[in-house]
Structure 1
Amino acid sequence: MGMGRDGEGRDGRVPVVDVTVVGVDVGVRRSVVTFVGTWAKLLSDLAVIYARQNGVSLIPLGVYDAMTRAYVAEISYPGVDKYRGGELTSNIVNKALGAVVRAIHSVQRIHNALVGLAFEDLRLFNEHKRDLARAKVVWELIVNRFGKVMSRCPSVKTSWFWISYRGEVIMPIRDSIPIVLVEPEYTSSTCPRCGTYLGRVRGRVTCGYCGFEGDRDVIGAINVALRGFLILMKCVREGVIGVARELQGLAHRLFIRLFPY
């Protein structure tokens, strides 16, 4: 990237980097995927096509005018519970996620862009929330898909208007896709356009301040993507991602030599 130790370019200015983030709101019976940033539309179109080739449906839900234009799609599955088990859900989720990852790799390769995946950090959560406990099973299916972590960036705190966000960026050893884990608080109850608290959202809701409309999962997915985008941009500005990607690339090539696919 041509960065110095302080994360700035050789001329002392912070370099401009194409950054796009795919945010995933993981639910019990569906996950909503949001594409935000420079290559959002291309990623969304490719992911829908690749999912169809994988035999699963990634259904476009529309374009939402949030902080940037957010392209939204959903994956539906039967859900994981003690009666059904997780095999069918795992199969659908893996195929859909595989399509998203393939789309990310295509954009990275063709446009040399930085594309990240953002999820809520469900490693720690309130055990009394049953839906969240079931959703964590699907979340683990998704996150474990990336295997071992090669590098872990320090916890990052950033802000948008008056709201502060915190998250963590990790670099999996077998993928050149930074994973952003964002704080899960209020992702489904904060308007992604103006930041207004929407209360306990069930079904569709309209923001009384700016008029934004969306259902709970869509709002959550857009907020996850926007938080991930802000955190990833801050890491780029501070030079953390540049170093992590170079080290990850070396480790990935070594990993392929030792354990070819």
Structure 2
Amino acid sequence: MACDREVRRAVSGLSGADAKVYELIESMESAGIVAVPELCEAVKASTITFVGFSCTFGDDGERSIDIGRHGFFERKTRSRTENLLSKLRDLEKDVRFTVFIDDMEFRRVWGWSRSQESLTEECEFQIELAREESQIPGDWDVELWSRVESRIECIPKVCLNTELWHQINSGVACAPINYEMVLKWAAEPAQSRALDEIARMRQTYPRNRNVKLSELRASSVTGLAVYSHAGEVLEFLHPGAIFIHSADHRRDHMLGYRRTKPLPIIHPWR
């Protein structure tokens, strides 16, 4: 197949430390690397950039938020991520890892009524607390997603990826990216097949087994918008980054719906 030939060509084009980096990543992969040719390009960079989202946790009563014991800050996941980055540095590669905390998730996905300002402030406090308790390695960058979105929303489309905006928005060149626009896109009939696939995937989770597929489909619009928007924002701000996915690998494809180029994704948990 052409796709297989492209992968083999990309891997065979690596040499020296770059080839060793790929071999290391492949040896730790637990679910299958996404976009191998793009991954091969990324490992050739003088600094290999990794990014990922760390899961958040909150109680049903909207009273508390917990960041430090979940996602990349959970002990086993943190240890395995540190192990990967350490081994890459042993190969004399400069490595950078940025973890995003989605402080917008509580209102967008969970439907919380608390103000975004109070949620963002509490997430900031939780990050500081996690650092004090050594749950965040000192060489990791941690950013709130609301801050990231605010940066991209200030950039006119004409200054961004012209090809992408012609494909998605028929060449409108003055309005900035924003989540509300993507949410409307996710609800359009053109995304029906994607929503069906997401709903069927979610129905396999124990908590959703008794939930009707139609209900899951309706609530999947938000999930599609959140993931797709994250994927396109990362393409603009971190075009050469490798995404480390700490959540369900079956959601990988959701990051790519609004991108012009595939996002290399790894799951180094083996």
Select the structure with the greater relative contact order (CA < 8 A; seq sep ≥ 6).
2
Q: Which range, TM-score by smaller chain?
A: 0.3 to 0.5
> Between Structure 1 and Structure 2, whose CA radius of gyration is higher?
2
Greater share of helix: 2
Greater share of strand: 1
TM-score, scaled relative to structure 2: 0.31
